[in-house]
């Protein structure tokens, strides 16, 4: 049906292998990442090297879009290492720099949602919690992202705190968002 085809195309975000894998498996689009796509993406991620992989993991924790300074803080890498890693990730097609004319740190987007998902799923629980904690800390330090009255900013911090396993800090940030 037209709805099924449209759902496959939307879920694939233009990745032909994704379309072929979903059609071959007969799975519903969006139900899970096709195994062939997941294997290809994990292989690509493994090929970038240690520092770019760490920056990519920190970016994946941030979400589909992220800022360079937040990722630098979360990854624990220097500014130079982070910039070099992001440049490599742009050249390799993992992320793209957004053309945001506003002042502040450079912004990036993952080139494909499933690439972000594969990078995130490849992070172990202990590292994932560490990266979420560092991301929450980075957001608190980033005055250009949010202000004391920015509900979304506090909610984002709260979600990262919760994913870091820090329930008290998450509750405080949720409370601040509600106020």
Look over the chain and give the mean of its residue pLDDT values, rounded to a whole number. Answer: 83
Q: Looking at the predicted structure, is the pLDDT value of residue 2 above 90?
A: no
Which residue carries 């957004």 as its tokens?
98
The per-residue pLDDT for 146 is 47
Contacts 24+ apart (CB under 8 A), 169-177: 169/136, 173/136, 177/151
Note the pLDDT tens digit of each residue in 38-55.
777 788 899 999 999 999
């Amino acid at each position: 049906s037209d709805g099924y085809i449209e759902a496959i195309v939307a879920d694939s975000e233009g990745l032909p292998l994704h379309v072929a894998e979903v059609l071959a498996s007969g799975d519903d689009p969006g139900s899970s990442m096709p195994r062939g796509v997941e294997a290809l993406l994990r292989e690509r991620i493994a090929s970038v090297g240690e520092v770019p992989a760490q920056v990519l993991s920190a970016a994946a924790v941030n979400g589909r879009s992220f800022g360079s300074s937040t990722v630098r803080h979360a990854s624990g890498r220097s500014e130079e290492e982070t910039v070099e890693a992001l440049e490599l990730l742009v050249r390799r097609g993992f992320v793209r720099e957004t053309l945001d004319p506003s002042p502040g740190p450079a912004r990036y987007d993952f080139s494909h949602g499933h690439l972000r998902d594969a990078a995130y799923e490849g992070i172990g629980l202990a590292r994932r919690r560490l990266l979420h904690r560092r991301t929450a800390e980075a957001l608190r330090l980033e005055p250009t992202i949010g202000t004391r009255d920015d509900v979304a900013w506090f909610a984002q911090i709260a979600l990262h705190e919760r994913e870091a396993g820090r329930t008290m800090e998450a509750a405080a940030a949720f409370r601040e968002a509600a106020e």
